[in-house]
Every structure is written in structure tokens, then in C-alpha cells.
Amino acid sequence: MVHKIRKQSGLTMSQRNVALITGSTDGLGRAVARKLALAGTAVLIHGRSRERGERLVSEIRADGGTATFYEADFASLAAVRALAQAVQRDHTQLHLLINNAGIGTGDRSAKRDTSADGYELRFAVNYLAGVLLTWSLLPLLVRSAPARIINVASVGQYPLDFDNLMLTRAYSGMRAYAQSKLAQIMFTFDLARELQGTGVTVNCLHPATYMDTTMVRAAGVTPVSAVEQGAEAVMQLAVAADFQAQTGLYFNGKQRDRAHAQAYDPEARRRLAALSLQLAGLGP
């Protein structure tokens, strides 16, 4: 289905938005997709399960909203490229990209696994796939400005060891997850600077602690926060007028916060950016 959304003066952002929310067939992404759809946004649902995706699309349409499902497994960079191509093919504008798809820490017995491209799985899915998707969709986002990019990170952050980035040594699911989330934050800061003056803002957040999601329960953790709490934090960055011009920031819930110190290290960010572009096939 092709959605052609025209910019019209006098309309609010939500009334004219097209939004892509990755990992939106379950948990936080699903809740955010429903909220955006109810606010009048044409939502592009992404996930690995066609059954769950089509069910959510049917629910949104039954409520009078507009939604389309795109299937892609972020453990494959080829699938990410195909998703970006499909979105560019089907849509003339994109006003909001929420990089939410991810894999949790797993339980204590979780073993190191790799993506289809041979990269440590959590680094590949939680971070590298979002980098590739974002860079691929940037021309569309810039043409659609004002536009926003939101990276769903975590308060759980672990410093990157560039000599062991794929965690072939000292692997743990927690470390893998936490370093991928810090990498997302570092990417946010760099991209925000890169996009200054384009009308596209880039922010990241820890939505809420241990929300009641499949990811949290799979880790053997008792949830302490409702999905609704995290969804409200994401929605603040997604649609609130106060955040239309703010960029390059990290939030803990609805409050601005400071990330791990490595996120503010220009040399670490430079090394990560160069390596990420190479791994994602975007650079030399």
C-alpha cells in the first residue's frame, strides 16, 4: 500500500506524519505504534512475525487508523537494506523513525551467537541494523523535514572495547546488550551533529526500567514498570512540540540525563562510526 502524505500548513505533526517503528509487533514498539496511529499518524509496522504484524495492522485499521506491515529480520543486513528499499519505494515522505527493534540480555545461560553476516548478534540487531536503516532512509527523512529520529537505548550501558567489540572473549548477554545500547547513544550524538541545520533531530532514551515485555520476562527478570510508562516517554520525544528543535540528547524516561562517559569521548565515537560504516557496507 502506498501512502502519499502532503505537508499542509495548519496541520499538527501527528496529523501529517508517516512513522516507521522497528520492532513494533510486540511490547514497547507495539504500544507506541498504536498511540501514533490513534493520533492520526500513518504507521509502518516492522517485525519478524507476519502473523503478529498483520494482526496489529488489522487492529489499527479497525480503530480507523492507517498502518502497513513490513517483515524483516534484523539479524541480516540484507533484510535491513530490503526494508529501507521497500519504504522508499512505497512512501514519498517519512517524518519519524523510531529504532526500537532489539534483543535483550537473554537468561544467564545465554551463549554468544552471531548474525547472518557473522557479527555478534546483539551488536548486529540492536545497533548495526539501526545504523544501516537510518543512513539508508536519511534522504527521505531530510526531504520530509521537520522529521525526528528516536533511538530506544537503555540505562544499561557498558563501555566498548574496540579490541573485543564482537565479544569473542569474556562474553555475557548482559555485556553484549549493554554495549550495543551505549553504541546507539554514541551514534545518536554523532548523527545529531551531522544533521544540524537539516530539520531532522536525533535523540535517544531509556524508556523505563524492566517493562512488562517479552524481552524482560525472557531474561528471567520480574517487570517493575508498565509498557505504558515507556510508551509515554517515547511519545514525548516523538510528537511533543517542545522537542521539535532539541537534538543530540539522552533521556532517562521523560527527563534529560547523562549517559556513560564513553558516549562523550570524541575519539571513541570516531572509531565506532568508522567501524560501523565499514561493517554495514556503507563505507570503505
Q: How confident is the model at residue 222 (pLDDT cuts 50, 70, 90)?
A: confident
pLDDT reported for residue 1: 28
Chain center to CA of 11: 26
In the chain, % of residues over pLDDT 70: 93
Whether 213 has a pLDDT exceeding 90, the answer reads no
Q: By mean pLDDT, which of 104-113, 161-170, 262-271 is the weakest?
A: 104-113
pLDDT reported for residue 211: 77
The answer to whether 84 and 133 have CB atoms below 8 angstroms apart is yes
If one counts every other C-beta atom within 10 angstroms of the C-beta of residue 26, the result is 18
Q: By mean pLDDT, which of 10-24, 132-146, 152-166, 201-215 is the weakest?
A: 10-24
Cα–Cα–Cα angle for 212, 56, 217, rounded to 5 degrees: 20
pLDDT reported for residue 15: 43
Among the listed residues 243, 232, 165, the one whose alpha carbon sits nearest the alpha carbon of residue 202 = 243
Q: How confident is the model at residue 16 (pLDDT cuts 50, 70, 90)?
A: low
Q: Which domains does the chain have, with CATH numbers?
A: 13-279 (3.40.50.720)
How far from 31 is each of 12, 26, 38, 64, 186, CA to CA, in Å? 21, 8, 11, 16, 26
Whether 13 has a pLDDT exceeding 70, the answer reads no
Whether 261 has a pLDDT exceeding 70, the answer reads yes
Whether 7 has a pLDDT exceeding 70, the answer reads no
Locate 134 and state its grid cell. Answer: 537510518
Whether 123 has a pLDDT exceeding 70, the answer reads yes
Q: Looking at the annotation, which residues are catalytic? A: 177
Q: Average pLDDT in the 13-18 region?
A: 61
Q: Average pLDDT in the 199-205 region?
A: 98
**Distance between CA 230 and CA 215 in Å, rounded?**
14
Q: By mean pLDDT, which of 196-200, 213-217, 241-245, 270-274 is the weakest?
A: 213-217
